[in-house]
Amino acid sequence: MTAPSLPWIGTGLTDTGRSRATNQDTFAIDNELGLWVVADGMGGHAGGNIASELAVASIMNHVRSSAQPWPSVSDQLQHATTVLTHAITAGKTAIQERIAVSPELSSMGTTVVLAWLCPLPTPSVAIAHVGDSRAYVIRDKRLVAVTTDHSLVQQLVTEGHMTLEDSLDHPKRNVLVRALGLNFPATPDIALHPLHPHDILLLCTDGLMKMMSDEAILSVILDSKDSPEKACQRLIARANEAGGKDNTTVLLITPRTP
């Protein structure tokens, strides 16, 4: 017997861009479990690629092995927080174990952002993240970020030491304060967001935000509403037309059409 279709479906695409030699981003989609993950690896040569792949595989495996009927409404956030915290810890452990046998990879690490659909009794999505990959909700023709970057510049903005405008082209804008790796705290932020029937979710790496404004991202998604595949292709194309300075990954989670 096949599982009933979930009301949302994920579609993703990743691209090396026009500046980097390799793509160190990784994404994964499980449309039966309602689990979607994006990770942005860092740390020289092949390391970032290994870190993001290890993290994504560990997280997918952990959540799959923990899958069980969802508990009552009041327990949903607790359940999601427990499972996702352990999943992200499993990702960090996998990276640390790899570094233990390959010390030349000691600087590797990765961000992670994920969405896990909590289908009953009304749809919600648990969003967890570590680092500066983001989740957005598109609702009523507006694009709203539902994650706050774990980056040095975001910390300075939050504390009032820097304006948002100055943070956008700051030389240290890539410096993370949390990540999955050896020398970072990997504590995720986890929150449950109720979904409206027409909501679209976007998970993405910073390669997209570096190249496109929120307005431009929103207009591509709204213009390509009938085809998430086309929307992903157009977002990557626009990021590359604007310079493609980093790897870009986009994962759109859209209402399933009957």
Residues near Ca ion, by CB under 5 A: 40, 205-207, 246
Q: How far is residue 34 CA from its own chain's centroid? A: 14
CA atoms within 13 A on the CB side of 208: 31
In 3D space, the residue among 18, 34, 27 whose CA is nearest the CA of residue 249 turns out to be 27
- Least distance in Å: CB of 193 to Ca ion? 24
Q: Give the other-Cβ count within 10 Å of 52's Cβ.
A: 35
- Least distance in Å: CB of 244 to Ca ion? 12
| Closer CB to Ca ion, 149 or 206, in the complex | 206
- Least distance in Å: CB of 20 to Ca ion? 9
What are the E-state strand segments in 20-172? 25-30, 35-42, 109-110, 112-118, 124-130, 134-139, 142-145
| Closer CB to Ca ion, 24 or 124, in the complex | 24
DSSP assignment string, 193-229? EE--TT-EEEEE-HHHHHH--HHHHHHHHHHTTT-HH
| Closer CB to Ca ion, 38 or 125, in the complex | 38
- Least distance in Å: CB of 24 to Ca ion? 7
| Closer CB to Ca ion, 123 or 131, in the complex | 131
| Closer CB to Ca ion, 48 or 123, in the complex | 48
Q: Give the other-Cβ count within 10 Å of 251's Cβ.
A: 27
- Least distance in Å: CB of 14 to Ca ion? 11
* 3-state SS assignment for residue 11: strand
